[in-house]
């Protein structure tokens, strides 16, 4: 586990630009895997442009929770409303939400048989029906933003892990999401590549993107997060701004966790 502080300081620049409207509303959410109660009464409101970091021990339900936000997992009780659309069985609402929400996973999930550029253009062309030329121009813009335009013609297997994860971020951004979910985006990377991905995430935060990041990169949390959430045993145990979360955690379980990772 590393604690690399990214180079930029996003938090100070953004708070003034933030609208205080709720874009994600989670209320009384429960979920079971068979008989296993994995999410227990989760409540969370996320404002436009807010950056939330979620941490907690392995198996505490972090991935399950953020996957519920774009319905990769379904909750059985409670409400999840994303940008005005409530997630129920209604497939149109699910599509509406997925259009607004990008997700980046631990293991990149790029298509190995497609070039970097093709990876970035696939969904815009086939889902958004954007003409290929325009999709390619947008993709190049985002590849420039994540600082790898020169890799556009290569295949994922020819890139380093850090570069692949930056492609995965660019690919998500090509769909122009309003919200980005990150599930341990740096956990599969060699230490020297972690920072190059965190720097891209910090820049994204500075641009005003609403972000929910499951990560144990506490340097990132301190620099960028508006709120840090600690989950354990399927519950949100504590939620606080980083200043308070790291210096004065209220709950014993949070204190124990922080002692282990810091
Ligand atoms: P985290 O991301 O915090 O490590 P997860 O959300 O992945 O936690 O998992 C929470 C718990 O749910 C774990 O005990 C895990 O084994 C269990 N779990 C996750 N996915 C499934 C599944 N598809 N079926 C059954 N149990 C699952
Ligand atoms: Mg997980």
Q: What is the pLDDT of residues 97-145, one digit of tens each?
A: 999 999 999 999 999 999 999 999 999 999 999 999 999 999 999 999 9
Query: 76, 159, 151: which is closest to 118 by C-alpha?
Result: 151
Would you say the CB of residue 163 lies under 6 angstroms from ligand 1?
A: no
How far does the centroid of ligand 1 lie from the alpha carbon of residue 155, in Å? 32
Residue 53: other Cβ atoms inside 10 A: 25
Confidence of residue 6 (pLDDT cuts 50, 70, 90): low
Instruction: Tell me whether residue 200 is exposed, middle or buried, using C-beta atoms within 10 angstroms of its C-beta: 0 to 12, 13 to 18, 19 or more.
Output: buried
For the chain, the average pLDDT equals 93
Residue 27 pairs with which residues in a beta bridge? 79
18 has pLDDT over 70: no
Tell me which ligand sits closest to the C-alpha of residue 230: 1
Residue 67 CA, closest ligand 1 atom number: 6
Per-residue model confidence (pLDDT) at position 262: 81
Per-residue model confidence (pLDDT) at position 254: 97
Per-residue model confidence (pLDDT) at position 12: 42
How far does the centroid of ligand 2 lie from the alpha carbon of residue 214, in Å? 8
Nearest CA to ligand 1 atom 23: 33
Q: Note the maximum CA span of the chain.
A: 55
* Ligand 1 mutation target, pool 31, 36, 53, most atoms within 8 A of CB: 36
User: What is the per-residue burial (b if ≥16 Cβ within 10 Å, else e) of 85-117?
Assistant: bebeeeeebbebbbbbbbbbbbebebeeeebbb
Residue 81 pairs with which residues in a beta bridge? 25, 86
Looking at the chain, the whole-number percentage of residues with pLDDT higher than 70 is 92
Nearest CA to ligand 1 atom 19: 64
203 has pLDDT over 60: yes
Q: In angstroms, rounded to a whole number, what is the distance separating the alpha carbons of residues 118 and 121?
A: 5
210 has pLDDT over 90: yes
156 has pLDDT over 80: yes
Pairing mode, strands 36-47 and 22-33: antiparallel
Per-residue model confidence (pLDDT) at position 14: 43
Beta-carbon contacts of residue 130 (< 8 Å; ≥ 6 apart): 124, 138
Tell me which ligand sits closest to the C-alpha of residue 106: 2
Per-residue model confidence (pLDDT) at position 189: 96
Tell me which ligand sits closest to the C-alpha of residue 38: 1
Q: In angstroms, rounded to a whole number, what is the distance separating the alpha carbons of residues 61 and 233?
A: 7
Q: SS3 for 231?
A: strand
Mean pLDDT for the stretch of residues 257-262: 91
Secondary element (H or E) of residue 69: helix 62-69
Mean pLDDT for the stretch of residues 170-179: 97
Residue 58 CA, closest ligand 1 atom number: 4
Per-residue model confidence (pLDDT) at position 101: 97
Query: 25, 34, 29: which is closest to 76 by C-alpha?
Result: 29
Least confident residue range of 5-9, 13-17, 210-214 = 13-17
Nearest CA to ligand 1 atom 26: 33
Least confident residue range of 19-28, 42-51, 73-82 = 19-28
Instruction: Tell me whether residue 252 is exposed, middle or buried, using C-beta atoms within 10 angstroms of its C-beta: 0 to 12, 13 to 18, 19 or more.
Output: exposed
Which residues make up the environment of ion ligand 2, defined by Cβ < 5 Å? 63
179 has pLDDT over 80: yes
Would you say the CB of residue 58 lies under 6 angstroms from ligand 1?
A: yes
Would you say the CB of residue 111 lies under 6 angstroms from ligand 1?
A: no
Secondary element (H or E) of residue 86: strand 85-86
Mean pLDDT for the stretch of residues 43-70: 98
8 has pLDDT over 80: no
Distances (CA, A) of 204 to 28, 180, 188, 244, 247: 30, 9, 20, 24, 26
Q: In angstroms, rounded to a whole number, what is the distance separating the alpha carbons of residues 151 and 12?
A: 33
Would you say the CB of residue 119 lies under 6 angstroms from ligand 1?
A: no
């Amino acid at each position: 586990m590393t604690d690399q502080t990214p180079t930029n300081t996003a938090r100070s620049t953004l708070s003034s630009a933030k609208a205080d409207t709720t874009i994600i509303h989670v209320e009384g959410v429960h979920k079971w895997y068979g008989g296993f109660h994995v999410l227990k009464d989760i409540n969370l409101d996320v404002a436009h442009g807010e950056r939330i970091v979620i941490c907690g021990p392995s198996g505490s339900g972090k991935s399950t929770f953020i996957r519920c936000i774009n319905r990769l997992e379904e909750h059985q009780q409670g409400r999840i409303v994303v940008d005005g659309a409530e997630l129920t069985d209604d497939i149109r609402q699910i599509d509406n939400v997925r259009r607004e929400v990008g997700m980046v996973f631990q293991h990149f999930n790029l298509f190995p048989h497609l070039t970097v550029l093709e990876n970035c253009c696939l969904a815009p062309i086939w889902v958004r029906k954007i003409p290929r030329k325009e999709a390619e121009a947008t993709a190049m813009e985002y590849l420039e933003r994540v600082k790898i335009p020169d890799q556009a013609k290569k295949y994922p297997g020819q890139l380093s892990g850090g570069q692949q994860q930056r492609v995965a971020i660019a690919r998500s951004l090509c769909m122009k999401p309003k919200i980005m979910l990150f599930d341990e985006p740096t956990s599969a990377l060699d230490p020297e590549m972690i920072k190059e991905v965190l720097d891209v995430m910090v820049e994204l935060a500075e641009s005003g993107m609403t972000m929910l990041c499951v990560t144990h990169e506490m340097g990132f949390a301190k620099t960028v997060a508006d709120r840090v959430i600690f989950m354990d045993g399927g519950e949100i145990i504590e939620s606080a701004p980083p200043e308070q979360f790291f210096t004065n955690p209220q709950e014993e379980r949070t204190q124990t966790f922080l002692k282990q990772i810091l």
